[in-house]
Amino acid sequence: MSKQYFGTDGIRGTVGKDPMTADFAMRLASAAARVLVPTGGTVLIGKDTRLSGYMFESALEAGFVAAGADVLLLGPLPTPAIAHLTQKYQADLGVVISASHNPYFDNGIKFFDGKGSKLSDDVERAIEAQLDKPAITLDSKSLGKAKRVDTARIEYQAFCASTFPRDLTLEGLKIVFDGANGAGYKVGPRTLSNLGAEVIPIGCSPNGRNINHNCGSTHPELLCKTVPAVGADVGIALDGDGDRLVMIDENGDLIDGDQLLYILATARKDSGRLTGPVVGTVMSNLGLEHALRDRDIEFQRAKVGDRYVLEALKSNGGTIGGETSGHMIVLDQTTTGDGLIVALQVLAVIKESGRSLSELAAGMPKYPQTMVNVRVEQRMDPDESAIIQKAVVEAENELKDTGRIVLRASGTEPVIRVMVEGQDEGKVSDLAERLAAVVADAAD
């Protein structure tokens, strides 16, 4: 059975439009309580810096308390912080209010179970099945309680720092940190500074409306200019909820998730700490696959979405995986994607090797890749369109063995992503535009 509300990363949409309303958030809390906290228990709620976070926090708090659950309000913290603290506090459920890399007028709600892991498709379907029922309101003696946790940020900073090698510091490194005016705006600079780095923060002045606006991992242009301008060794950019990471080398060049995955995988291979396959997605650059193959490192592809990368890692005994966008997972350090913790692992490689970020990334060639997002009025599966599939087969025949084509519906936006990759940049771009036109016509 397909899901109506949950996408690849929780429920997301424009604030004020169904489902992102206060009424829906309260019913969602009640539905989640029925499925996951049926006899009371504890629920953690964290959020990013969007103005609408206050509204959704209050609605979720009311829904859970009315259903008999105790609620701990953590305030603005990265998504992975909620995953970690849910596990640390032995809570039954963790809730994050965030639309990740989307603009401020969007928001979303996602959940972590008591082990700090995202919910399975089956559990999300079970929650959706309860949404049509009236919200629970127990009698006064059975209601839950709510309180704010003032120590959550400091606890999470300490956890992040604990993943950095004890015999190393960041002394001698100048780092420009871009917090996307989001959830990591405090924990990022403070964690790096506590480890000895000289930190220059940008994108760390949230006002409720500037999250992800011309900053962060999806808009790193200012960071690319700032790093060489101030003579920094490296730049770090998170997205609005802190689970994505891209980095900037000393020359101002972008180092994406594929390159970061290559750096971590080869470093762990060299030190004998690499276990199982490295997991990317169907969108991972072919250059990553070839570079890892040349180092005798097994590489597997999962569906797009960090939950599917995580599933592949767990089922095959791997510990590191990620997406081109910067959703990275290091399972021997934490349970979910964490931009700051992954950045610390890369910084550790820089310190241990004595090499610059550009040198570490140089071993992975990046094949030209063109992505075209085709906006559609209604969700559609490009695999089910005969016209689109005929065009894909024709394009693949032109590429032969020199590239790849991937068409997929976004799990977070009403778009079809058309990706073409290959050795010939001109052909790649031409095929992507042609396929995008076919998809647009089919979607009308």
SS3 content of the chain, % helix, strand, coil (to 5): 40, 20, 40
Phi-psi region of 181 (alpha: psi -120 to 50; beta: other; left: phi over 0): left
Residue 268: both structure tokens together:
């762990």
Taking alpha carbons only, the member of 75, 112, 325 closest to residue 206 is 75
Q: How many CB atoms lie within 10 A of CB 194?
A: 16
Q: Which two tokens stand for residue 138?
A: 């127990």
Which among 52, 2, 9 has a CA at the least distance from the CA of 325? 9
Q: Could you tell me which residues are beta bridge partners of residue 302?
A: 281
- List active site positions: 100
Q: What string of DSSP letters covers 255-279?
A: E-HHHHHHHHHHHHHHHT---S-EE
User: Which residues have CB under 8 Å from 256's CB, separation 6+?
Assistant: 246, 324, 325, 326
Q: What SS3 class is residue 289?
A: helix
Please tell me the distance from the alpha carbon of residue 442 to that of residue 444, in angstroms, as a whole number: 6
